[in-house]
Amino acid sequence: MAKDKDKIIDKVTGDDYKYGFYTDIETETIPPGLNEDIIRLISKKKNEPEFLLEFRLKAYRHFLKLQEPKWAHLKYPPVNLQDIIYYAAPKKQKEFDSLDEVDPELLDTFNKLGISLEEQKQLSGVAVDAIVDSVSVKTTFQDTLSKHGIIFCSFSEAVQNHPDLIKKYMAKVVPYTDNYYAALNSAVFTDGSFCYIPKGVRCPIELSTYFRINAAKTGQFERTLIIADEGSYVSYLEGCTAPQRDENQLHAAIVEIIVMNDAEVKYSTVQNWYPGNKKGKGGIYNFVTKRALCKGKNSKVSWTQVETGSAVTWKYPACVLKGDNSVGEFYSVAVTNNYQQADTGTKMIHIGKNTKSTIISKGISAGKSNNSYRGLVKVAKKAENSRNYSQCDSLLLGDKCGAHTFPHINTNNKSSIVEHEATTSKISEEQLFYCNQRGISTESAIGLIVNGYAKEVLNKLPMEFAVEAQKLLQITLEGSVG
């Protein structure tokens, strides 16, 4: 019985990566290397205003002073930043006005990924900003959105068309001094998405960015900036894939969210970068800094993430709850398999009065992988009556994987309540027996249990994404979860 189960777990955890193809598109790249000239070149290519170049150079000079962080529960060979190509873009002649003008190869790529730009437009009403390698190739639905006064475009476009907004808000939540990868990103970022929701507007459709690393030897360094003005609401989705390669590629992104009075932002991620092969070769290094600032009163931010990809993940979406009565939420499912390593979690910084935060984290480790939750809940002296509830569970599939929990709680006033709970266990024999007894095969039972375990988080995803996330769990863990 036990052997049987092991075999099935092996089988369900042994499926292949389905997005590992490479699209042959004409790509424009610059020579590899990291220095001030490269930064100037990127800035020039993107026709950036002076202030942005200065910002990049300042960040780069600061970056040189920093050392790679070593505190995470991760082991990987050092990344040689000089070998990376910092700018790679599908060649394009002009701005696209309609999808017909987009390179058919590219459209095909997105169709293969199940993100048909065309179809999405007709069926689900999701506005997509598709980013391949370093640049944004297409943003859909811009016209509809602009009727509401919503700005949703690539970061480069925003730099050209709304430099005042960029200047006002960029790097205000994640300054370039924040950490090693944030400094690197600030120096060499190439594109990303920009979104501004004006006062009182409830964004009628879901906004989505799709990231794809395609070219070899490149790194992807994008920046996303979302500003939700007073009383507005937006639901934002993010997805990522990459081709299968033996080398490790670096992805170091920054996401900044600013939420004003009474506004709400819901940010969902389905991360499925190439995780490397079964022997742990290749895969993406995913070192991301994500932070939301609840600047106004009664503001709300909700992070939902499904992490299934990447060889190494280093990611802690954070909420700075500065406005009184603001709310931060974090829901996460992180699945690691084979030799994947994930060190992920969240930070909840309570500064305003009556602020509330909820953390639900579910880790699933299989194969020889290591999955860590690392979190910080900090309650400042002035954050009276604030409340936090954290729950982090780990599920172990197989006896060679690891599941770790590293929560930090720091409380500095007497009226706040902070609670943390965590459990680690495997799928119990009793649960399996119960299912078997009712005629459910062991394989389906494992699927059922894993799915039920992650349900709490998957339920928080917008419908369009929930389907994709469930599919992903299937791919990562087996053929019949669902």
Partner 1 sequence: MTNSKDEIKNIPLKEKLILTFEENSEKLLGKKTSHISKIKQKAFENFKKIGFPDPKSQAWKNTDLSEVLSKDYEQLFNFSTEGTNVEELFQCDIHNFDTHIVSLLNGWYVNPSEQITKMPDGTIVGSLAKATEEYPELIEKYFGKAQNKNNNFTELNTAFSQDGIFIFVPDGVEVLKPIQMVSIINHEKNLLVNHRNLIILGKNSKLTFVQCDDAINHQTSFTNTVTEFFLEENSNLDHYKLQNLNNNSSLLNSTYFKQEKDSNLSTNSIILNGGIIRNNYHVNLDGEGCNSEIYGVYLMDRKQHVDNQVYVDHAKPNCTSSQLFKGILDEQASGVFNGHVLVRRDAQKTSAFQTNRNILLTNEASIDTQPFLEIYADDVKCSHGATVGQLDEEAMFYLRSRGIGEKNARMLLMYAYAAEIIEKISIEALQLRIDDMVKKRLRGELSVCDKCVLHCSKPDKEISFDIDMSKV
* Cα atoms found within 13 Å of the Cα of residue 247, Cβ hemisphere only: 13
Contact partners, residue 376, CB within 8 Å, separation at least 6 = 345, 346, 347, 348, 349, 407, 408, 409, 410
- Nearer to partner 1 by Cβ, of 166 and 396: the residue is 396
| C-beta of 225 vs 477, nearer to partner 1 | 477
**Binds partner 1 by CB under 8 A, chosen from 11, 44, 400, 455:** 400
Is residue 424 part of the contact set for partner 1 (CB under 8 A)? Answer: yes
Q: Rounded to the nearest 5 degrees, what angle is found at the Cα of 221, between the Cα atoms of 127 and 376?
A: 90
For residues 347 and 367, give the distance between their C-alpha atoms in angstroms, rounded to a whole number. 28
Residues contacting partner 1: total by CB under 8 A: 37
Residue number, 73 or 199, with CB nearest to partner 1 = 73
Assess 419 for contact with partner 1 (CB under 8 A). Answer: yes
Element at 89 (helix H, strand E) = strand 88-90
* Site for partner 1 contains 426 (CB under 8 A): yes
Asked if 416 touches partner 1 (CB under 8 A), the answer is yes
**Footprint of partner 1 on residues 45-74 (CB under 8 A)?**
67, 71, 73
The site string for partner 1 over 344-383 (x = CB under 8 A, - otherwise) reads -----------------------------------x-x--
Helix/strand/coil for 53: helix
Q: Is 436 in the site for partner 1 (CB under 8 A)?
A: no
Are 227 and 165 spatial neighbours (Cβ–Cβ below 8 Å)?
Answer: yes
Burial of residue 351 (CB within 10 Å: 0-12, 13-18, 19+) is buried
* Contact call for residue 418 and partner 1 (CB under 8 A): yes
The distance of closest approach from Cβ of residue 415 to partner 1 in the complex, given in angstroms and rounded to an integer, is 7
Closer to partner 1 by Cβ: residue 38 or 380: 380
For residue 29, state whether it binds partner 1 (rule: CB under 8 A).
Answer: no
Establish if 409 lies at the interface with partner 1 (CB under 8 A): yes
Does 406 interact with partner 1 (rule: CB under 8 A)?
yes
Query: Is 7 one of the binding residues for partner 1 (CB under 8 A)?
Result: no
DSSP 338: T
Output the CA angle 62-67-71, nearest 5 degrees.
Answer: 135
Residue 73 amino acid letter: H
- Rg of the chain over Cα atoms, rounded to whole angstroms, equals 22
Which residues of the shown chain bind partner 1 in the complex (CB under 8 A)? 67, 71, 73, 379, 381, 394, 396-426
